[in-house]
Chain A
Amino acid sequence: MNGTSCGEANGTASGTRRWLADVVVTPKPGVNDPEGETIRGGLRSLGFGVDDVRAGRFIQLVVEAPDIGEAERSVTSMCDQLLANPVIQTYAITIVEGEASGTGPSGGAR
């Protein structure tokens, strides 16, 4: 279920552009996630009706690439080689043109 969704690339400058990539790494289905279970227990004790919680990791990167396709290939390679462990984790990538705002996942910004 690894996937990439890409924002509109609207830059016109020639050469290298900067891209903001959000990487979300989560445990694969079937992999024990004691952290998620503990969070679920906490939420339930607060009265929330939560069925399942999976806890992962959010990594935000600024990469330089001539176009969004190249940026996506680069970040995918980073995930396969280092950011995620394919034995236990899956990942999702969201890329938009620009730089980190420091305000959290760009893909989920409202």
Chain B
Amino acid sequence: MRSWVAVISFPGSNGDQDALSALRDEVGVDARLMDHRETTLDGVAAVVLPGGFSYGDHLRCGAIARFAPVMTEVRSFAARGGPVLGICNGFQILTEAHLLPGALLRNRTLRFHCHWTHIRFERHGNAWLSNVRPGEVLRLPVAHGDGAYFADPETLDRLEANGQVVARYCEQDGHLSPTSNANGSSRSIAAVSNEGGNVVGLMPHPERATNPLIGGEDGLRLLRSALEILAVPA
């Protein structure tokens, strides 16, 4: 039976506890930490790759983490259609693992960005987007130094045509502007998915916006999709 959400802990992850408590305490699903050396995903209904600085971000963000033993299992899990969500460093790991297209470059400001931002959803309907509508704007925090999404123009056109652009940085009212695209992402892209839609990566942190006490709860709009994921029999 597939009944729980695995949050993977890499050496240097620092968003794993946030993701765990957001899913377990705020969303109310069975979520457990899983060590990066684990070699089976038996019983796992969804995988979350959390934020942080896996392996010190040496060489490139996420470049070393993709060789972690558990990533072999994550790769086949994703190929079978299993829902995988990469947040921040998790997004970087998924691009380095070629489970998502593109790459995350140094912010155009060369500064670490740690602030609240707005993202506008471009699509819905895949596993992680069951609770958001196209055009819906969420307010979420970002915390990254290498968050500028990049893909070549042909790839970007293909992503747009396939509906793989999940969300873009925007102003509060949803319109795009150079100011809202603070890190300099190609076409303001904040989140993308694979072709199947089951693998999603985003730079903002929904797990750090799950309660008004910590500044907002818009992250629950995304994370509550775990309830639907777990409700579907394997």
Contact = CB atoms under 8 A, between A and B. Distances in A.
Interface of A: 30-32, 34-35, 38, 82-83, 85, 87-88
Contacts, number: 33
Interface residues of B, number: 18
B179 interface: no
B195 to A, nearest CB: 16
Question: What secondary structure prevails in chain B residues at the interface with A?
Answer: loop
A79 to B, nearest CB: 12
Interface in B64-109: 95-96, 102-103, 105-109
Contact of B59 (A30, A38, A83, A88): A83
Interface string B135-151: 00000000000001011
Interface of B: 59-60, 63, 95-96, 102-103, 105-110, 148, 150-152, 184
Contacts of B60: 85
B110 A87 contact: no
Question: Which residue, of B59, B95, B107, B108, has the highest number of chain A Cβ atoms within 10 A?
Answer: B59
A1 to B, nearest CB: 15
